[in-house]
Amino acid sequence: MAEFRMHISMSLDGCVAGPEQTLLDPIGRGGERLHDWLVPLAFFKEMHGQDGGEVNESDAVAREMFANIGATVMGRNMFGPVRGEWRTDAPWDGWWGRKPPFGHPVYVLTHHPRSNLELDGTTFHFITSGFESALMQAMRAAGGKDVMIAGGASVVRQGFLSKMIDVMDIHLVPIFLGDGERIFDGEADLRGFRHVRTIAAPGVTHFSFVRE
Residue 140 lies in a domain: yes
The CATH number of residue 107's host domain is 3.40.430.10
Q: What is the pLDDT averaged over residues 125-152? A: 96
Render pLDDT for 89-106 as a digit per residue (tens, 0 to 9): 888 999 998 899 999 999
Q: Structurally, how many domains does the chain consist of?
A: 1
Cα–Cα distance for residue pair 206/77, rounded to 1 Å: 25
Q: 90 in a domain, yes or no?
A: no
Cis check: omega of the bond before 203, within 30 degrees of 0: no
Region of residue 88 (left: phi > 0; alpha: psi -120 to 50; beta: else): alpha
Write down the pLDDT at residue 83: 84
Q: Is residue 89 part of a domain?
A: no
State the pTM of this model. 0.93
* Residue 6 CB-half CA count within 13 A: 26
Distance (Å, rounded) from C-alpha 26 to C-alpha 80? 8
The string of pLDDT tens digits covering residues 175-196 is 999 999 999 987 888 889 999 9
Q: Is residue 123 part of a domain?
A: yes
In whole angstroms, give the CA distance from residue 29 to residue 78.
Answer: 15
Query: 21: which residues sit within 8 A by CB, 6+ positions away?
Result: 27, 28, 31, 77, 81
Q: What is the torsion angle, in degrees rounded to the nearest 10, for the CA atoms of residue 95, residue 100, residue 102 and residue 106?
A: 60
Residue 1 has pLDDT above 80, yes or no: no
Give Rg (Cα) of the chain: 16
Position 21 in a domain:
no
Query: Does 206 fall in a domain?
Result: yes
Closest CA to 115 of 128, 103, 99: 128
State how far the Cα of 78 lies from the Cα of 80, in Å rounded to an integer.
5
- Domain span at residue 116? 4-16+29-79+100-211
